[in-house]
Amino acid sequence: MKYGMRERISGAVIIIALGVIFVPMLFDSPAPREERPAPVLTIEQPIDVQRTPVDEPTPPASLSTPPAGEIEEPPEVDAEQVVEATEPVERDEPGDLDQPTPAAPEASDPIAELAESAQAPSEPEPEAAAEPEQTPPTAPSEGGEWEVQVGSFGQPDNAERLEAQLNEQGFSAYRRARDNDMTSVYVGPFASSSDGEQARTELQERANIQGLLVRVRED
């Protein structure tokens, strides 16, 4: 009971304090807002500019017209002189005017010219220059120490097909089985490494094959 009475008194004091603080606020009217000054529009006075008089422009002499009293009248023409000038002149001998005027040349028709050119027999075209014959590949040498390896295949049929293709192009190709169940195709043999390099270049240019120059393996 001792602690309950204290809590009730504390609660009552808090409620009374809140009432004292907030009750006057409910009855008080809100403070009036400050009035903002109205915008003022000011118009400045125009600035005086000093004006300088300018003479009137004068038209050029070519455009000037003479006064009404100074207009020149056209000279009088004698009617008899006009009649004499218009009379035809008799000619005893035929002059240039008696000759018939040549007819004007007819305008060329581009469509007709194209048709005539199409019907005309066309000139035989010059025969194309014969292509220069390719020199045969570098000849192999029996007992040579160098050869060009052009490929290795796991299937012997592919190696046989490449060998036949190179032989048709003039190369001396052959195939040889290796220890790793691969069949390699070679071109050669050649007596020197320079001949082998030349054959390797020919293979690249004619058969598009990047070969490898190696020494002949002794079995």
Range in 136-140, 189-193, 202-206, 207-211 the model is least confident about:
136-140
CB 177 within 8 A of CB 219: no
Whether the per-residue pLDDT at 132 is higher than 60: the answer is no
Within a domain: 7: no
CB 185 within 8 A of CB 166: yes
Residue 137 Cα to chain centre, angstroms? 46
pTM above 0.75, yes or no: no
Q: What is the pLDDT of residue 75?
A: 60
Within a domain: 87: no
Within a domain: 181: yes
Within a domain: 34: no
β pairing state of 212-215 and 183-190: unpaired
Within a domain: 156: yes
Domain count along the chain: 1
Within a domain: 161: yes
Residue 83: enclosing H or E segment and its boundaries?
Answer: helix 79-86
Residue with tokens 């590949």: 137
Q: Which tokens is 12 given?
A: 């009552």
Within a domain: 68: no
Q: What is the pLDDT of residue 97?
A: 46
Beta strands of the chain (E only): which ranges? Answer: 146-153, 173-177, 183-190, 212-215
Q: What is the CATH classification number for the domain harbouring 162?
A: 3.30.70.1070
Within a domain: 38: no
What digits encode the pLDDT tens for the residues 48-89?
778 888 888 887 777 656 555 555 565 665 555 555 555 555
The residue segments making up the domain with residue 208 are 146-215
pLDDT band at residue 184 using 50, 70 and 90 as cut-offs:
very high
Whether the per-residue pLDDT at 39 is higher than 90: the answer is no
Question: Residue type for 88, please?
Answer: P
Whether the per-residue pLDDT at 160 is higher than 80: the answer is yes
pLDDT band at residue 197 using 50, 70 and 90 as cut-offs:
very high
